[in-house]
Amino acid sequence: MPNETYVSEGVLVHNCYKANNPNGENLSYENFRKIFDKLPKTITQIAFGADSKCITNPDIWDMMIYARDKGVIPNITVAEISDDVADKLASVCGAVAVSMYSNKNICFDGVKKLTDRGMSQVNIHAMISQETFQNTLEGLEAIATDPRLSKLNAIVFLSLKTKGRGEGFHPLTQEQFNQLIQVCKDKKIRYGFDSCSSLKYFQSLTEEEYKKYAEYVQPCESTLESSYINVEGEFYPCSFTEGTEGWETGISVLDCEDFEKDIWNHPRVQEFRNKLLATTCNNKFNCRNCPIYRI
């Protein structure tokens, strides 16, 4: 059963390359409550998807408070936030990620607003690809010296999935990936990755490093420990599977009577789960890796 769910509550982040919600629909508070109450009690985390300024859906704050009151601490990714939004995020979220694009000052200002309000779990999210590689390197140089980031928790690298605005982009080579890690080590920058990056991370390690760090790495856990629910209340293995072969439509959580039976053990979910588990035989690390995209 899942312990983490990603819920898309409204218009996706401006410039978010996934771009799977072009119409800008919003999830209502009423439907969020219906979805939440159908989820298993093992849920420990909900990651909300929002617009870059976190202002499009006025129900977002009530959703977060409802989740928190039920013992599930929300987190969210934003990009360009006002002081008022920073106040609200700091009051209700356990963690906030700020996306870094070409205008890095917007990102860095957002980080400072949140850490100034006492948040300790503030990360920068950087999508890594050959096309964004140089911008990411420049961002690392700034992180090492910019006083606005003195209380930053970490930079988190998100590997490219060629969907939406990511079509036409190219994954990092292993050498480029290794270079990012080395820069972080040299400059003593705390860093992390999404689970999609696990195999590349394993391949970057020496034998001794692998023995030391492997147990802390969580490869792709979609349909094993996490899932995605869109604004229509439809379940998908992860946000990047929406619209892909076999997942042209999701499975309605709003209409289900028993989440475990109707959703978690649905034949389509089991098929994806088995396909994911089978990927461990494709590499020497027995590491699960994406069955949809070339990472």
Helix (H) or strand (E) holding 38: helix 29-38
Asked if residue 13 has pLDDT above 50, the reply is no
Superfamily name and number for 4-282: Aldolase class I (3.20.20.70)
Binning pLDDT at 50, 70 and 90, where does residue 12 land? very low
Of 223, 152, 161, 213, the closest CA to residue 188 belongs to: 152
pLDDT attached to residue 3:
66
* pTM for this predicted structure: 0.92
Per-residue pLDDT tens for 32-58? 999 999 999 889 899 999 999 999 999
Spans of all domains in the chain: 4-282
* Range in 38-42, 64-68, 207-211 with the lowest mean pLDDT: 38-42
Asked if 47 contacts 7 with a C-beta cutoff of 8 angstroms, the reply is yes
Per-residue pLDDT tens for 108-117? 999 999 999 9
Structure tokens at 106: 């917007």
pLDDT attached to residue 15:
36
Question: How many H helices and E strands in the chain?
Answer: 9, 10
